[in-house]
Structure 1
C-alpha cells in the first residue's frame, strides 16, 4: 500500500507552514509561545496537522497500537501552546522518533512534506496497510479546540481510528493510552475511561485509608487549570469523607489566569504560597501545575514562615514508606531513587546515609528519569519541580501479587503494597496520583507537614536563568553537572565555587528557551544567592544577550 498523496496534499493546504520558523521536538514535545487564536493557529497549526500524520505513522509502525496525542499541556503561562505524543505503554515518544517529528514539522511546502513522509515510511520500514489508532485530549487553553482540529485533519488523512478523550489532564491521557493498549490482556492497566481512572485511584486509596484516623482537609491550588474540574470529579467518586480537600485557584474560564501567580512552578521557583492564598499555620497545602503532572506541598509554621516540600521531599517520603512496606511484607526487592542535578544535596545525603537507598543521577528530562527508574525493582523518580512517580518492575509486580504471607503483619503490608501499585500512575508523573501517595504516607504515619519536613533540612539554593545568544553552544557532561562547552566556562564556575562553604553550582541550557539555567547551593541563603548571581554574571558577560541586570541580581 502506498501513501495517499492526494489526501495528504489536500489536507495540508488547509494548514500552511510559516516560512520563518524552525520547529524542534523536545522533551515537552513541540512548544511555541503565542497569543490566543488566531495567532496560535498561525504558529502551530501546521505542526499540529503534521503531528496527526506522525501519530498515524507511529501507530502503523507498531501494528495498530494506540498512540496518544496531548494538546497543549504545560506549566507555563496560557500563551504557551504545544503538543506531545505518547507511546503505547503511556511513556514518552521513543527518542528515535523525535527526529521524524522535527523533520515533518520543518518541511517548507506540501511537496516537501510528501517527500519527508515517504522518507520516514522508508527509513522506519512502515507498512502503510496496517491499521492505526490514536487517542487525543486537550487542556483548558483557549487555543486547544482550534489546534485539535488540525491534529484531527492529520489523522483523517490516514484514515485513523480516533478516540476523542476530550478535556483531560496530561497524566489521564497517558493512562488512557496504556489502558487502550493493554485492555483484555493479562497486563490490563485499567478501564480505558476517565471514570475507570477515578475508580482505580479511589478504590486503592480507600483500601489504604481504611482504619486510619482522618487528617485535616488538604487545600489544593489547581493553578486555574484542568486539574480543577478533574479533582472535583474525583472527589465526587471517592467522597469528602475519605478525602477531604479544599480546591482553590480553580477558575478555568478566566482568560490569562492559567498558572498565573499560582501552581507548582510558581510555588517552587518563588518559594512562596500562591497569591491571595493565606496559609493557616501548620496546615497542609499543595499545588498542581496547569496540566496536573507536577505537585509540590508546603505549609507555614507558627511564625508564618513558608516551608516548601518539593519533589525531593516527596521522593524521600515515598521511598522510606515503600521500603518499610517491602520489609514488613518479607519481600527481597531493591528500592532505588533517581534524581537530577537539581536535587538538593541534603536530600541525596538523607536518601543514601539515613534511609540507605541507592541514588542514580541522570540528565534532566522525564525520559532519562523514567528509563533509569526501570533498572530498580522499585524505582522512584521525582524532579525537584514535583514531577515524578514510582515504577514497579514486572518481576516485582509478580512477587507482590503471588507472595504468601506468613504472619498477619506481612499480610497487611502486602495488602497495602498491592493497593499502592494501583494508586500510583506508573505511566508518568501525575499530580492527583502523587497527591494521594503523599496523603497515604502521612495518613499511615499520622504526620503533620512539619514532621515530614523534619526528616532533613534543605541546603539553601537558588535557580536563575540567563538569556544567551545561543543555548546550543552549551553542552554538558556528568548528568549535566559539568559544562563541556564553551571551553573554559567550567573552570570559571569551579573557581567561583571553591571558597564557598557547602557550595555547589552548575549551568545547563534550557530545552525550550534561549537561556541557560544556573543552580547554586550553599550553607546559607545569602551565600547561595551570591553564588548563583556570581555564576550567572560569568555566563552573561561572555555569552549573554539583552541588558545586564543591575543591583547585582538576576
Structure 2
C-alpha cells in the first residue's frame, strides 16, 4: 500500500469500497458503463483520476459526467472530459481501467504510481466539473465522484442534472477563459439562441418547410432543457415536446434516438401525424435522429448520415459563395455509413470523405485534420469542427470590402453556424438547431430531404465465436486480416451482388463478430449478410447454431 496516499485507501474502504465480486470494467469510448450498482467505487476513483489529470494539465478543469447515454435506466456510467471539452485522452484510458479495477488495498499504490509516472505536482490546484443525467442512481454516483475529488484536495463544481454536451461545453468555456462561452446553463442557452436567431430568416418563396417540430425527449434530460430553450426562441421554431419523463415514462424505454434507429419505428409517446417532422434525442442528449411517416404510414429514418450530408452541403455552398475555396471541408464516416451517402457526398457534393474505425473518438480526431470537419455516426452522434485558420478566414471575409454584400452575408452566416455548433462533442440540441436552419434555408420538408439520395438496403448480423480475437481488421475495419482466407471469401461473395459491400469486425466486449452487408435489394442484402456470416462461422471457430442463408 502506498504511504503517501493512505487516506485515499481508508476513505475508499469506508465509504466507496470495491465489492469482491465487482466485474472488471474497461474504459472505452463511452467511459465506464454497466449496471449502476457496480459503479459507486468507480465514480470515486474517477474523481481521484480527474484531479490527477487536472494537475498534469497545470490546473486546467477536467469534466466528469455520470451517464449511460442511450442505455436503459438500470445502467449508468462514468466518463471523463479533457480540457478542450474533448473526449478523455486515449493514452490515459489504461490508467482509468487499472484504477477502477484495482483492490481497495492496492488503490493508494496505484494512485502513487500514476503520480510518479507523470511527475505530478500534488501541490497544484485542481478543478473538476461534475454533471449527471436524470437516472435515479446518478446522485449517489455524483456524491462518490465528488468525494474522490476532495480526497486529494481537488475542487469539485457540481452542475446537477445537465446534458452530456452541456458539461463538455462548460469545461471548454472555463479553460478558454470564457472565450468559447460562459460556463453555465444560461451561457449555453444564450450562445445557441443568439446564433439561431441570426440565421433564422423568413421562409424562402414557395418553401415546403414548416416551423413545427415534434421532439421525442427519450424521458431524459434533453427534453427538459429544450423546454427551457424553446421559451427563448420568440416563436421562430415551434417545438412540441413529448416523452419528458412524466406520466411513468422510463428513460430510453421504447423511445429515444437509439430505439428509433435500431427498431426502425416511431417511439411510444409521440402522436402519429403523417408527414410530420420528428426529432428523437437519446437519454443524455448527445445523439439525434429524425423520422417521419408518409401518407401510407411507412416509416422513414433520417439518421446521422442524412444529417451529415445536409450540413456539409450547406457549408460547401457558403464556402463557395464567400470565395473561401482554400478552406478544406471534409466529412468523416465509419464503415457503417450507408454506401449511398458516401457516393452522394463524394460525387454530388464534391466533399472529400474519410473513413475511420468505429468510435466517436476516432471520428473527432480525423475531423481535426480538415479546416472544417463534419463527422457523424449513423446513430446520430456528431458535430462540426472549425480550425483556427477557418475561423480567422471566415471572420475576415465577413467584413471584407472587396466582397459584395451577398458574399459578406454568406461569411456572416458561417460565423453564426460556428456559434450554433458545439464543437466539443455531438450535441443533440445544437445539431437540431443546425438541421432546422438548413432545412428552412433550403425550403425543404422531410420528403425533399429524404430525396437527396436513396439508401442502399443494409443488414447487420452477429456471429458467436469461441474467441473474438481470432478476427483482426485494418483499413478502418473494412478489411479482415485474420483468419487467413476470410477476406478473400468475403470479396468473392460481394462480387456476386450489384453494389455489394460487406465487412466484419469483432465486438469490443463479447465473443461475437458483427457482420454488415449492403446491396441494391433487400433480398440480395439479406442473402449476402447470411453468406458472410456463414464464412465467419466456418473460418473463425464458430459456436452455437450456424447461420442459415435465405433461399
Q: TM-score, normalised on structure 1?
A: 0.93
Q: CA RMSD in A?
A: 2.1
- Residue 547 of structure 1 deviates from its aligned partner by 5.3
- Residue 44 of structure 1 deviates from its aligned partner by 1.4
Aligned-partner SS, 1:379: strand
Q: Which residue of 1 aligns with 2:194?
A: 203
Change (3 A) 1:277 1:462: farther
Cα-to-partner distance string for 1:341-386 (whole Å, 9 max, x where unaligned): 0111111111111111111111111111111111111110011111
Aligned residue among 206, 212, 225 for 1:217: 212
Change (3 A) 1:439 1:491: same
Distance in 2 separating the partners of 1:280 and 1:398:
44
- Residue 130 of structure 1 deviates from its aligned partner by 1.1
- Is the CA contact (8 Å cut-off) linking 2:471 and 2:540 kept in structure 1? no
Cα-to-partner distance string for 1:95-147 (whole Å, 9 max, x where unaligned): 1100110111121232x111111111111221111110000100011211111
Distance in 2 separating the partners of 1:418 and 1:29:
33
- Residue 210 of structure 1 deviates from its aligned partner by 3.0
Structure 1 outlier segments of 4+, above 6 Å = 549-553
Distance in 2 separating the partners of 1:225 and 1:489:
43
Aligned-partner SS, 1:246: strand
Matches within 5 A, 1:104-123: 104-110=99-105, 112-123=106-117
Aligned residue among 183, 190, 195 for 1:192: 183
- Is the CA contact (8 Å cut-off) linking 1:66 and 1:177 kept in structure 2? yes
Aligned residue among 479, 483, 487 for 1:482: 479
Distance in 2 separating the partners of 1:149 and 1:466:
41
Q: Which residue of 2 aligns with 1:37?
A: none
Unaligned runs of 5+ in 2: none
- Residue 551 of structure 1 deviates from its aligned partner by 7.8
Q: Which residue of 2 aligns with 1:345?
A: 339
Distance in 2 separating the partners of 1:546 and 1:145:
42
- Is the CA contact (8 Å cut-off) linking 2:5 and 2:112 kept in structure 1? no
Cα-to-partner distance string for 1:381-438 (whole Å, 9 max, x where unaligned): 0111111101110011111122233211012112211111100110000111001100
Aligned residue among 89, 92, 95 for 1:97: 92
Q: Which residue of 1 aligns with 2:31?
A: 29
Distance in 2 separating the partners of 1:437 and 1:101:
35
- Is the CA contact (8 Å cut-off) linking 2:534 and 2:547 kept in structure 1? no
Cα-to-partner distance string for 1:246-296 (whole Å, 9 max, x where unaligned): 1112226837x2111211111112222213545423221111111111111
Distance in 2 separating the partners of 1:223 and 1:471:
33
Change (3 A) 1:542 1:76: farther
Change (3 A) 1:276 1:166: closer
Change (3 A) 1:61 1:251: same
Unaligned runs of 5+ in 1: 35-39
- Is the CA contact (8 Å cut-off) linking 2:537 and 2:543 kept in structure 1? no
Q: TM-score, normalised on structure 2?
A: 0.93
Aligned-partner SS, 1:166: strand
1:144 has 2:132 as partner = no
- Residue 484 of structure 1 deviates from its aligned partner by 2.2
Q: Which residue of 2 aligns with 1:386?
A: 380
Distance in 2 separating the partners of 1:61 and 1:374:
23
- Residue 54 of structure 1 deviates from its aligned partner by 0.5
1:46 has 2:41 as partner = yes
Distance in 2 separating the partners of 1:94 and 1:142:
29
Matches within 5 A, 1:63-78: 63-78=58-73
Distance in 2 separating the partners of 1:100 and 1:370:
22
Aligned-partner SS, 1:462: strand
Question: What number of residue pairs does the alignment pair up?
Answer: 539
Change (3 A) 1:487 1:275: farther
Change (3 A) 1:371 1:165: same
Distance in 1 separating the partners of 2:263 and 2:9:
48
- Is the CA contact (8 Å cut-off) linking 2:472 and 2:505 kept in structure 1? yes
Aligned-partner SS, 1:224: coil
